[in-house]
Structure 1
Amino acid sequence: MTNPAPAPQTLMTGLVPGDFGWYLGMALRGYQTRFEDAVADLPGGIRGFQILSTVVHRDPPNQLALAAHLSIDRTVLTYLLDGLVSAGVVERIPDPADRRARKIVATEAGHQLLADYEKRVAAAEADLMAGLSDSETGTLAALISRLAMDVHRAQPGTSPCEAMDHLP
């Protein structure tokens, strides 16, 4: 009886080809679950948080730029914004550069709400990373951000939301 050949190793020492994807998927699933719980009562959930965070921290010039930055279909964005506007979190104002377009700005309540939700999200992220030391967490964050930006540069139209939507 012959012994089966050992599985080939990837460039990552000790990993069988395909294991890396499984690890990323499990980490993403753990992150998604915690993130969803942290923002569950925010209009639009995760997407509502991403919109509010982008409006506050990135200040896109108009609604179209916001949609492009988040890789959200304009029609879907309109519905998400309707919920955030109704909640008094953001408002639509005429784009100073193009009166036909709308710029999305956070209200004072929206700024405060984002600060509260950022604390919740930070706690969820800390919970996910609880098994790592501070040094390991810093190293992982630095490496995963570098890897993500490399992928983004190679595939600029790719939506990270699609990846989360298609997890098994």
Structure 2
Amino acid sequence: MAEESPTSQNCPLSGKPGDLGWNLAMVLRGYQSRFETAVDGMPGGIRGYQVLSTVTYRNPSNQQALAAHLGIDRTVMTYLIDDLVKAGVVERIPDPADRRSRKIIATDHGREVLTTYEKRVADVEAELLAGFNSADIGTLDTLLRRLALDVHRAQPGSSPCEAVDHLQ
């Protein structure tokens, strides 16, 4: 029987300190590769999908708020939106609250494109979670959402994109 280290006694999870990071990284890698496949053909790939989804469902007030929400650098966001505008899935309109800034909205075509990609993303998420029953999936969703919100509150300026970039 393996001896327990003094530090593992303080670890709130089963396993050794650091196992949480390894587990999260493996899940993220598995998810990211499936997500990339699901959004193949979407201008901007994963980030393009996230922008289109965010402007459709969260209605950020302007381009700067959109960039902050997704943790994408302003400069990168500008080029990404340029590509999405060229593809006809979003458009820039004057921000009603500040005509100097731009609000990004989905076009009718963009909402159709999003529906198509959402089905593909849902399929790969179902594939990833195939080993779980619906109760386990509900619990996992609740706990991950709570953990993500706790981390976001503690580090509001942190970028999920940077975290993914560091994995590669």
Please, what TM-score do these two structures have when normalized by structure 2? 0.93
1:57 alignment counterpart: 57
Task: Kindly provide the amino acid, as one letter, of the partner of residue 74 in structure 2.
Answer: R
Shift of 1:61: 1.2
2:38 alignment counterpart: 38
Which residues in structure 2 correspond to 1:130-145 (within 5 Å)?
Answer: 130-145=130-145
1:47 alignment counterpart: 47
1:149 alignment counterpart: 149
Task: Kindly provide the amino acid, as one letter, of the partner of residue 84 in structure 2.
Answer: L
1:40 is paired with a residue of what secondary structure? coil
CA distance, structure 2, for counterparts of residue 77 and residue 160 of structure 1: 14
Unmatched segments (≥5 aa) in structure 1: none
Shift of 1:6: 3.5
Shift of 1:5: 4.5
Shift of 1:20: 1.4
Change (3 A) 1:84 1:12: same
CA distance, structure 2, for counterparts of residue 51 and residue 84 of structure 1: 9
Q: How many residues align?
A: 165
Provide, for residues 109-157 of structure 1, a one-character-per-residue CA deviation record: whole Å limited to 9, x for no partner.
0011111111111111111101111111111111111011111111111
Q: Establish whether residue 11 from structure 1 lines up as the match of residue 12 from structure 2.
A: yes
Shift of 1:4: 7.9
Unmatched segments (≥5 aa) in structure 2: none
Question: How large is the Cα RMSD of the aligned pairs?
Answer: 1.5
CA distance, structure 1, for counterparts of residue 148 and residue 100 of structure 2: 35
CA distance, structure 2, for counterparts of residue 84 and residue 136 of structure 1: 36
% identical aligned pairs: 64
Task: Kindly provide the amino acid, as one letter, of the partner of residue 40 in structure 1.
Answer: D
Deviating above 4 A after TM superposition, structure 1's stretches of 4 or more consecutive aligned residues are: none
2:80 alignment counterpart: 80
State which drifts further: 126-135 or 43-52. Answer: 126-135
Provide, for residues 1-42 of structure 1, a one-character-per-residue CA deviation record: whole Å limited to 9, x for no partner.
xx98444342213x1111111111100101101111100210
Task: Kindly provide the amino acid, as one letter, of the partner of residue 123 in structure 2.
Answer: A
